[in-house]
Amino acid sequence: MAGLTQAENELLTRTGPGTPMGNLFREYWIPAMLSERLPAPDCAPIAIMLLGERLVAFRDTQGRVGVLDEYCPHRRASLVYGRNEEGGLRCVYHAWKFDVAGRVIDIPSELPNSRLAQSIAPIGYPAREAGGIVWTYLGNKAEAPPFPDFLFTQLPANRVLGWHYHQECNYLQGMEADLDIGHPGFLHAAAVNPLLDPTRRAMGTDRRPRAYMREETFGFQTVWGWKTEDPAKSLFWVDPFVVPFHTIVPAGRTQMRWIWHAWVPIDDHSHWLYYVHYDSEIDPDAEEKQRLEQAFGHDLIDPANDYRSRGNQANLHLLDRERQKHENFTGIRGVAAQDIAITQSMGAIVDRSREHLTSGDILVIQLRNYLLKTVREHMAGKPAPGQDGSFSYPDIDSRMQIVPSTMSLPEILDHPEWKWGDITEKSPA
Ligand code: FES
Ligand SMILES: [Fe+2]
């Protein structure tokens, strides 16, 4: 079965201003960067690009964050050169000054009674911080949409460990890897075993997992099922996709239980991949942080190179041929590093009209169908999904459990008492 037509591929992968997918993404609050990039009041402003738009972010004297158009409305100088001083960012060309909302608050060349500053349209976008992330809304509605208050955005900071990667390929390639049930048993083989609960070995022994998808008001819910070494028991996980580009992956019992992901387009050839590990009960210590860094490859992130991984296409993502022979399937250390290597290896925007899909690609196909349907409906004037108040973000279910093999995937999803479970064994009530 072929993947997408070239026209469908274009439709899903282009997210700049005025594109259908770009218009859809601009209906939502989206992550702009980790808060750590603006470490203190009046620190250096940061150049960022989101959905193909050049922006500047800064933290003012009171600690508030502003996300502004990069270019000064006077004569279009870049505000990345600006001076961050006393409650605003000042352009260094002729010293116009902007507050966090992007309002002009000072034009030194004008007389004190000038009304010029008030007459200039603000250049800022709504911005707020939650879960260690700066979020922004790039749409044009007067009122910002509901905020995606995922559980991790409400937890104490010590129960959340977040990283982000500047990935050099289209956002959809990264996101597809997350719903690819066919790959963990190969790409991540061996690397996952020592790090997680031994029951996860099922992923390596059953290379033909089952999958089920059901549309929900927040996006869609998926259940993945693997046979274990005991034929009476199966391992499954519940792994939601949340509009427009988030998933919540269950990480097992022996570490922080959940990983929240986002794939945020920088432009059409690169995106931010977020990895936020969290748990409502566990306070990770320094050792746990180090373990996650090693296991996922987060220690390879280079903040000095705009948070790109030190593994890249030129060095084959640090592939070690000895490790490939003796330790794991890829020869690459780290689960995230393996996904990143392989999604970048496909080129900046993969030509999906040249694919040959199999049963293991079932959830990738369903993700594409969901996105195509959603963007086409949005083009026809239907409201963007996930904003009708019909669900609560912290309640979106994600879990990994062992259950009797006789249970069907929909039964598992709907079991009234199993929400928010861990990997412990369950039997039907
Ligand atoms: S271009 Fe910014 S103040 Fe003139
Ligand atoms: Fe993966």
List the single range of 61-70, 198-207, 322-331 with lowest mean pLDDT: 198-207
DSSP 3-state of 406: coil
Nearest CA to ligand 1 atom 3: 94
pLDDT in tens, 52-79: 999 999 999 999 999 999 999 999 999 9
Question: Which pLDDT score is estimated for 229?
Answer: 84
Omega within 30 of 0 (cis) for the link into 404: no
pLDDT in tens, 131-187: 999 999 999 999 999 999 999 999 999 999 999 999 999 999 999 999 999 898 889
For residue 7, give the DSSP letter.
H
Question: Which pLDDT score is estimated for 176?
Answer: 98
Residue 305 CA to ligand 2 center (angstroms) comes to: 24
The terminus-to-terminus CA distance of the chain in angstroms comes to: 41
CATH topology of domain 29-137: Rieske Iron-sulfur Protein (2.102.10)
Residue 338 CA to ligand 2 center (angstroms) comes to: 7
Cβ atoms of 199 and 228 within 8 Å: the answer is: yes
Examine the pLDDT at 195 and tell me if it is beyond 80.
no
Cβ atoms of 381 and 375 within 8 Å: the answer is: no
pLDDT tier, 282 (very low <50, low <70, confident <90, very high otherwise) = confident
The set of protein residues with a Cβ atom below 6 angstroms from ligand 1 is 72, 74-75, 77, 91, 93-96
User: Looking at this protein, which amino acid is placed at residue 408?
Assistant: S
DSSP string, 319-385: --HHHHHHT-SSS--SHHHHHHHHHHHT-SS--GGG----GGGHHHHHHHHHHHHHHHHHHTTPPPT
The structural domains of the chain, with segments of one domain joined by +, span 29-137, 151-414
Which atom of ligand 1 is least distant from the CA of 96?
3
Nearest CA to ligand 1 atom 4: 94
- Cα separation values, 97 from 18, 66, 72, 192, 425, Å: 29, 13, 9, 51, 60
Task: Return the beta strands (E) in 228-331 as ranges.
Answer: 233-238, 241-242, 246-250, 258-267, 270-278, 301-302, 308-309
- Cα separation values, 417 from 403, 414, 426, Å: 13, 9, 10
List the single range of 133-137, 166-170, 196-200, 315-319 with lowest mean pLDDT: 196-200
Residue 287 CA to ligand 2 center (angstroms) comes to: 24
Q: Is the CATH code 3.90.380.10 the one for domain 151-414?
A: yes
Sign of the dihedral defined by the CA atoms of residues 40, 46, 51, 53, in that order? positive
Question: Which pLDDT score is estimated for 193?
Answer: 52
Residue 73 CA to ligand 1 center (angstroms) comes to: 7
What is the arithmetic mean of pLDDT over 185-212? 73
Examine the pLDDT at 200 and tell me if it is beyond 70.
no
Question: Which pLDDT score is estimated for 347?
Answer: 97
CA-nearest of 164, 166, 163, 170 to 343 is 170
Q: Can you tell me the distance from the alpha carbon of 368 to that of 172, in angstroms, rounded to the nearest whole number?
A: 9
Q: Residue 122: how many CA atoms within 13 Å on its side-chain side?
A: 15
Residue 315 CA to ligand 2 center (angstroms) comes to: 20
Which atom of ligand 1 is least distant from the CA of 79?
2
Examine the pLDDT at 10 and tell me if it is beyond 60.
yes
- pTM of the prediction? 0.95
Which atom of ligand 1 is least distant from the CA of 91?
2
Which atom of ligand 1 is least distant from the CA of 77?
1
Question: Which pLDDT score is estimated for 429?
Answer: 58
**Average predicted confidence (pLDDT) for the chain:** 93
Q: Can you tell me the distance from the alpha carbon of 209 to that of 223, in angstroms, rounded to the nearest whole number?
A: 10
Nearest CA to ligand 1 atom 1: 75
pLDDT in tens, 331-382: 999 999 999 999 999 999 999 999 999 999 999 999 999 999 999 999 999 9
